[in-house]
């Protein structure tokens, strides 16, 4: 009997060692069960925060402060700065929410482009308008883009009007498995669409003649656009490896072990484009909290962060200015460099990291008469 316990103990130790190695250096795969995708990551129950108590009005229409009291300014995109002749640099332009225009080592990309002025599936029930009157650039003013990368199929990340307007001036739409179905349904040619599962990669040749290696990498999220398509398409993050620079794009995600895995295989990164907004204790595993975004950046081996998924649409319950404030506090506490430009402003990775705190121009929320709320940083779970 003692020998049996000894053998069981050794087996348990071996399994723990194997799981630890998997967490840090493995390549975890999505689950696909009965035609639906599922997250394979372990969940730390200590991260289930107490849910916010809300009235019926706050539940469906959101509290005051979710939207700014007046339309926000966005800087018109300067195309020569955003897409310069320099084929060896990294130039990034945040277009609001999760939309990013990027030129990496001569390759022109659009990430999760969203040019709609409203992302609500039912505006008469709950309106979710853009904070700005206009996007920082119109689709028809964009030059040819080598590829559009999509993270998942949610309404704030992919829109038929935007996609169809981009199709004539885009080389390829590179999407997670199953997302191509929507593009084809909307009228995009199948010749322009390429689908990828986690850890699959490819090489893109741009109009400039330069090449870009890209990898579809894990995220912790879900997918849905209608009543009957829950999780029938995959969600993902993306890694971009140019001739000189590396960039990570988080898409929408909760915090889990996948950041360490991606960092191990493809880090360090010159820039992590990290989700930072629309988090909520009602869905603690679907979106990362700002403090978790800093930890994820460190897991990836990032040099500086560009926070996205805030500043243009509000569908959670936090004040619209809260995400950058929490991120700044968390980043300063851990010595992490931030790049927070105005919406529509271009920066080069060679520029010193700066924070343009444009949201502080409205120092108090006129609708509530209160300052941006102080928040308690959430504990980041320690996964194996």
Residue 188 — φ and ψ, nearest 5°?
Answer: -75, 140
Residue 50 has a pLDDT of 62
Residue 269 within a domain: yes
Residue 58 within a domain: no
* Per-residue pLDDT tens digits of the chain, which is 384 residues long: 444 433 334 333 333 333 344 567 899 999 999 999 999 987 665 666 666 555 444 445 555 688 898 999 999 999 999 999 999 999 999 999 999 999 999 999 999 999 998 887 877 667 889 999 999 999 999 999 999 999 999 999 999 999 999 999 999 999 999 999 999 999 999 999 999 999 999 999 999 999 999 999 999 999 999 899 999 999 999 999 999 999 999 999 999 999 999 999 999 999 999 999 999 988 888 999 999 999 999 999 999 999 999 999 998 989 999 999 999 999 999 999 999 999 999 999 999 999 999 999 864 433 333 344 444 444 444 433
In the chain, the N- to C-terminal Cα span, in Å, equals 31
Residue 267 has a pLDDT of 97
Instruction: Give the tokens for residue 27.
Output: 């390549």
The range of the structural domain enclosing residue 133 comes to: 74-361
Residue 57 has a pLDDT of 45
Residue 374 within a domain: no
Residue 93 within a domain: yes
How many residues would you count in the chain? 384
CA angle 351, 355, 359 (to 5 degrees): 145
Residue 112 within a domain: yes
Based on the structure, what is the number of domains in the chain? Answer: 1
Residue 14 within a domain: no
**Domain containing 299 — which CATH number?**
3.60.15.10
Residue 56 within a domain: no
Are 275 and 247 in contact by the 8 Å Cβ rule? The answer is: no
Tell me how crowded residue 41 is: count the other CB atoms within 10 A of its CB: 20
């Amino acid at each position: 009997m003692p020998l049996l316990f000894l053998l069981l103990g050794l087996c348990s130790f071996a399994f723990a060692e194997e799981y630890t190695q998997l967490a840090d250096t493995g390549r975890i795969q999505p689950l696909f069960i009965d035609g639906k995708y599922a997250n394979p990551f372990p969940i730390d129950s200590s991260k289930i925060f107490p849910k916010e108590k809300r009235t019926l009005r706050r539940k469906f229409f959101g509290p005051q402060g979710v939207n700014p009291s007046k339309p926000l300014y966005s800087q018109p995109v300067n195309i020569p700065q955003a897409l310069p002749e320099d084929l060896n640099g990294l130039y990034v332009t945040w277009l609001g929410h999760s939309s990013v225009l990027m030129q990496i080592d001569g390759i022109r990309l659009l990430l999760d482009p969203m040019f709609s002025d409203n992302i609500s599936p039912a505006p008469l029930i709950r309106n979710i308008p853009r904070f700005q009157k206009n996007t920082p650039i119109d689709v028809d003013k964009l030059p040819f883009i080598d590829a559009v990368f999509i993270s998942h199929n949610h309404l704030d990340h992919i829109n038929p009007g935007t996609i169809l307007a981009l199709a004539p001036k885009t080389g390829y739409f590179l999407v997670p498995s199953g997302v191509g179905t929507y593009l084809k349904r909307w009228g995009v040619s199948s010749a322009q669409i390429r689908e990828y599962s986690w850890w699959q990669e490819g090489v893109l040749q741009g109009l400039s003649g330069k090449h870009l290696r890209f990898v579809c990498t894990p995220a912790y999220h879900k997918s849905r656009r209608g009543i009957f398509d829950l999780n029938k398409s995959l969600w993902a993050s993306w890694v971009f490896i140019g001739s000189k620079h590396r960039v990570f794009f988080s898409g929408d995600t909760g915090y889990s072990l996948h950041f360490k895995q991606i960092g191990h295989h493809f880090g360090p990164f010159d820039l992590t484009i990290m989700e930072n907004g629309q988090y909520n204790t009602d869905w603690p595993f679907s979106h990362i909290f700002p403090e978790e975004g800093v930890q994820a950046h460190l897991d990836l081996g990032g040099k500086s962060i560009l926070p996205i998924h805030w500043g243009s649409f509000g569908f959670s319950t936090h004040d619209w200015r809260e995400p950058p404030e929490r991120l700044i506090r968390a980043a300063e506490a851990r010595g992490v460099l931030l790049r927070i430009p105005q919406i529509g402003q271009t920066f080069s990775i060679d520029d010193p990291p700066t924070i343009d705190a444009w949201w502080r121009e409205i120092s108090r929320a006129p609708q509530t008469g209160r300052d941006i709320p102080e928040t308690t940083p959430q504990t980041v779970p320690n996964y194996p």
